[in-house]
Structure 1
Amino acid sequence: MLSIKELETLIEKLDKSSIDEFTYEANGAKLKLKKNNTIAEPVSKEVVHKPIEVQPQQVVQKEETVEQVQQEVSVPQTAVKDYDHEIKSPMVGTFYSSPSPDQPVFVQTGDTVSGDTIVCIVEAMKLFNEIEADVNGTITEILVENGELVEYGQPLFRIKTV
């Protein structure tokens, strides 16, 4: 694995580069670095010149404070959570949505499942592990694609329980 000095150098170089994310794997260890590119801008009482239409094809400037402009901007509502249970992968492996390529998928969005309903297969080291719903409810979202690699604990399905 990398020494502290090498890690510090790597972080510095990543920070100065145009790369947003970097993954390094060696000897069974994995290091993932991501840039935090969010910029918080302070709210001030500066004046904003906002064009308003007075007559057709004639525009004048109207002075407003930032607060007045922010009040006029519609803020989207946060999405309503339509699930109360997630089925997570119990292992690292490959996600399969059907028992074989020529057969239909185990479940689709909108399907009703019971605790013992098989919802997918996760293949790990040539072993095909059937994953059960473990709860009664309705599949509201399928979070992975067929053939996608999944991590331990990664959410696979969202369910609205009954």
Structure 2
Amino acid sequence: MSNDLSTLDEEHVRQLGRIIETLERSTFDFIQLEIGDLKVTIGKGNIPVPEATSPPARPAVAAPGTMPPSAPAPAQTTPAPRQVQSSGHAHPGAVDIKSPIMGLFYAQPEPGAPPFVTVGATVGEDSTVALVEVMKTFNAVSAGVRGRIVEVCVLDAQLVEFGQVLFRVMPE
């Protein structure tokens, strides 16, 4: 699936959410869908890695939760997009923090609040670095590694895919 998901409307996202819920209740580890040019792999366990890509880095840990009372709502309170941040040079040895699910990426706990992390921030393995929202459920994304954020790879309120790189961390 391409990185440009802007063509997906709310109904498509709802349908994908229903597929995700069905997969979670099933005994299957993953599902692959191909409809025209749209190709989606959704997994809850070991998913196959396409031959054309490199093996995935250590996956991020998600703590499923429910929507906090002051959590951002998708359409009405979407904040102005922030720029993707980088420390300005290559990051050999950096570890990727990837999205554990497909959904809307939120960099802060609520509209108007400061982001969870920015470039230069130090994180621990259990540090929450973002929220990914699917079907009005907000899932905390943990760093999964101790280190320093060297790159923010997505914009706030951007639709992200399963396995998409959200941050890069230089491990301590």
TM-score (norm 2): 0.49
Q: SS of 1:100's equivalent?
A: coil
Q: For CA contacts below 8 A with separation 6 or more, give which structure has more relative contact order.
A: 2
Q: Percent identity?
A: 40
**CA distance change for structure 1 residues 123 and 102 in 2, over 3 Å: closer, same or farther?**
same
Structure 1 regions of 5+ residues with no counterpart?
1-20, 34-78
Match for residue 142 of structure 2? 132
Partner residue in 1 for 2:94: 84
Aligned residue number for residue 153 of structure 1: 163
Q: Given the alignment of the two structures, is residue 114 of structure 1 paired with residue 124 of structure 2, yes or no? A: yes
Q: 1:101 aligns with which of 87, 111, 123?
A: 111
> Does structure 1 conserve the Cα–Cα contact (< 8 Å) formed by 2:91 and 2:150?
no
- Return the match for 2:37 from 32, 35, 45: 32
RMSD over aligned Cα atoms = 2.7
Q: 1:83 to 1:147 in 2, by over 3 A?
A: farther
User: Which secondary structure state, in structure 2, belongs to the residue aligned with residue 95 of structure 1?
Assistant: strand
Greater Cα radius of gyration, structure 1 or 2 = 1
1:150 to partner: Cα distance? 0.1
Letter in 1 for 2:169: I
The answer to whether the Cα contact below 8 Å between 1:97 and 1:119 also exists between their aligned partners in 2 is yes
Hey, which of these two has a bigger chunk of strand by percent? 1
Q: CA offsets, 1:39-96, max 9 Å, x none?
A: xxxxxxxxxxxxxxxxxxxxxxxxxxxxxxxxxxxxxxxx643442100001010000
C-alpha distance 83-98 of structure 1, shift in aligned 2 (>3 A): farther
Q: 5+ unaligned residues in a row in structure 2: which ranges?
A: 16-32, 39-88
The aligned counterpart of 1:15 is none
Q: How many residues align?
A: 95
Question: What's the offset of the Cα at 1:147?
Answer: 0.3
- Shift in CA distance, 102/128, structure 1 to aligned 2, threshold 3 Å: same
Q: Residue 105 of structure 1: CA displacement? A: 0.5
Equivalent residues in 2 for 1:56-71 (5 A)? Answer: none
CA drift of 1:103 comes to 1.1
